[in-house]
Structure 1
Amino acid sequence: MEKKNYTIKEIAKLAKVSRGTVDRILHQRGNVSDKARQKVEDILKRIDYSPNIIARSLKANKKNRVVVLLPSNEKDSYWDQSVNGILEATKKANQFNVSIDIKKFDVDHPDSFNKLVNEIFIDPPEGILLAPLFYDQSLDFLVKCISANIPYILFNTHIEDSQSLCFIGQDLFASGRVSADLLNLIKIPNKRILIIHFDEDPDTSNHLKEKEIGFRRYFEEKRISVVIESMRLSSHLADHAEEQLQEIFGHDDIGGIYVSTSKAHIIADFLQKKSLQKIPLVGYDLIAENINYLKSGEINFLINQNPKLQAYLGTSYLSDFLVFGKKIERTKLLPLDIITVENLDFYL
């Protein structure tokens, strides 16, 4: 006997729930109660439901628009790589009538993020890819996406219980621990360790907070007695960054530095220009400035966060979901690649 193909309407009638509830369960988006989910899943098992892949593929005839929200790469070249990943994934997405609209906000001004959010809901897209640097503003935005039934993927920074289709990035807590382990190998004994956050406020930037917690926890759990001082600095010369650095490094009591962002080169540049004694330095990301100082020895280790791959996967996953209803794993954690001058060429 030929197997019957059930419609969403028929499944909803059998399960005694709304069509919208069935649609959200089948396409893994939006909020559904455990009771309703169980009802639908019981019916799906009873009728031996399997999605019609060919029918789903025909959705390629429908035009889908994805909006990508990320920090501007004008102030931080780290995001250049994210843009490159998005553009690379766009070539594939365009073949299935998925257009990618990149919108950039100013990392120094949360209001610029809010302005973009307001613009987005004037003409809502079919999907959102977001790097949620501003925690509170991002939460408000995601609540609006849920209300509008717009699926979204997060990359670079995770937000717990965000109901995102997927998070793509690294384990930031573990990243902090790895950085602490590296610095512990080379730090100068009996001296302070500095954690330096550039520009962003760790109290409102979850990715920086998680890194610092992991970093401190490492020394606590290993019972290593060390004084750790955390500070926020500006990367802009107009904001007297050099004067700040002169004050900090005018004392001979620093035994190691951990920079939580891609701005380790600012510290390396200052130490080199002032001909100060080399201080063990660990930072992030294979941007050109950091690579130069890794080669010269001012930076000892870099952890590669692979922003290009994060953005590429986020764009690709969301496109596949919209076009083919493809199932996405909830978390995609990328490796914590430790880069030294010895293995740098393999990553370039």
Structure 2
Amino acid sequence: MAVTLQQIADKAGVSRGTVDRALKERGRINPEVAAKIRKIADEMGYQPNRAGRALAMAKHSIKIGIIIQSMETPFMQGVLEGAKDAKQEVERLGATVTIRKISELDSDKVIAAMHKMKGAGYNGIGLVASDEERLADTIDQFTEEGISVVTFNSDAAGTKRMCFIGQNAGQSGRTAAGLMAEILPDNAVVQVISGYASNQSHKERAEGFINELNQCRPDVKLLGIRYAYDNDRAAAEITQEVLKEHKELNGIYLAASGAKGVCQVIGEKGLKGSVKVISNDITDSNIESLKNGTIQFILGQDAYSQGYRPVMVLFDKLFDGKDPEEEYQYTEIVIKTKYNI
């Protein structure tokens, strides 16, 4: 009997998609892991059977839809890159992957895209969720009708989706609070700027930050949460307003996009270094602000994996019937300073 990719994956302790990438030397994979997989494949006598794969794929008719919200943000461009690479991989095996891009956070547009994909016979959907009851109901409805659903970047907890792929947002917020606590003076004043109240990840980051900072630095005055809707101009306006009302401001935590606008205002007012800034996402503009000292810490969350892995999880489910090993597949929280960028 021919050796399958899944048998190699089980022996190597990795996913079928990882085995495929290692044997075909494409995509992002740890070189040591790839070498181990190739050795196991040789030992098991694996021989690729492309004709058999194509026939199996024709029978499966795998159609995967990926819906990415907030596409105007630099972070989501990294998510898109990962999704495109995964699309190329599975389409070589005969599957179909369609990526739907939505510029803002809009659950109505997500639901409309889901129904359009359903009507076109898609049997797997990955999406950036938002905290909306109608979207949660739609996810449950699709799951009950046999369409596999995965959330990424922002979750829809409590629904029947297969799994969530993204950052542990609450832990990210707590991490940012711990860092902020170390660099603030006594009796400091801090502003939290988030993206959307309906984005679960934004919400959990902000709440994690506030709860942890209240615990470890009870002397700090928190001004609450302001929402910039992932918009640099809105974030800049908020920063100007806060500085006008609170000239003693010592820190800003960005739970979502908008750091470019914040840093512009801080630079113009000559407050670089005196107002401490911690931001999420390793983007080009954030890196520049980190290097010049306007931002003190960046917390990364692996945008590429958040786009790549949903496609592969859905493919494994639809092709092999393999369920995700974990409901919550968290990406790494990376801390960057100007010394390790």
User: Matches of residues 19-38 of structure 1 in structure 2 within 5 Å?
Assistant: none
Residue aligning to 2:276: 280
C-alpha distance after superposition, 1:95-123 (max 9, x if no partner) = 22111101122425443333323423322
Name the CA distance, whole Å, in 1 between partners of 2:164 and 2:310: 8
How many equivalent residue pairs? 285
Name the CA distance, whole Å, in 2 between partners of 1:291 and 1:71: 23
Residue segments in structure 1 that go unaligned for 5+ positions in a row: 1-53
Residue aligning to 1:65: 63
C-alpha distance after superposition, 1:18-57 (max 9, x if no partner) = xxxxxxxxxxxxxxxxxxxxxxxxxxxxxxxxxxxx9x96
Residue 131 (structure 1) aligned to one of 109, 128, 131: 128
Higher radius of gyration, 1 or 2 = 1
Q: 1:318 to 1:236 in 2, by over 3 A?
A: closer
1:66 and 1:127 in contact (8 A); partners too = yes
SS at match of 1:248: helix
Residue 73 (structure 2) aligned to one of 73, 76, 91: 76
Name the CA distance, whole Å, in 2 between partners of 1:182 and 1:103: 36
What TM-score do the two structures reach when normalised by structure 2?
Answer: 0.77
Report whether the alignment pairs 1:226 with 2:224: no
Q: Per-residue deviation at 1:242?
A: 4.7
Q: Per-residue deviation at 1:237?
A: 7.4
Residue aligning to 2:43: none
Deviating more after overlay: 181-190 vs 118-127: 118-127
Report whether the alignment pairs 1:297 with 2:293: yes
1:106 and 1:112 in contact (8 A); partners too = no
Counterpart amino acid of residue 141 in structure 1: T
2:256 and 2:280 in contact (8 A); partners too = yes
Report whether the alignment pairs 1:257 with 2:257: no
SS at match of 2:119: coil
Q: Per-residue deviation at 1:223?
A: 5.8
What TM-score do the two structures reach when normalised by structure 1?
Answer: 0.75
Report whether the alignment pairs 1:314 with 2:310: yes
User: Matches of residues 186-225 of structure 1 in structure 2 within 5 Å?
Assistant: 186-198=183-195, 200=196, 202=197, 204-222=198-216, 224-225=218-219
Report whether the alignment pairs 1:341 with 2:335: no
Residue aligning to 1:43: none
Q: 1:236 to 1:165 in 2, by over 3 A?
A: closer
SS at match of 1:66: strand
Report whether the alignment pairs 1:117 with 2:111: no
SS at match of 1:254: coil
Residue segments in structure 2 that go unaligned for 5+ positions in a row: 1-48
Q: Per-residue deviation at 1:143?
A: 2.0
Following TM superposition, the consecutive aligned residue runs of length 4 or more in structure 1 with deviations greater than 6 angstroms are none
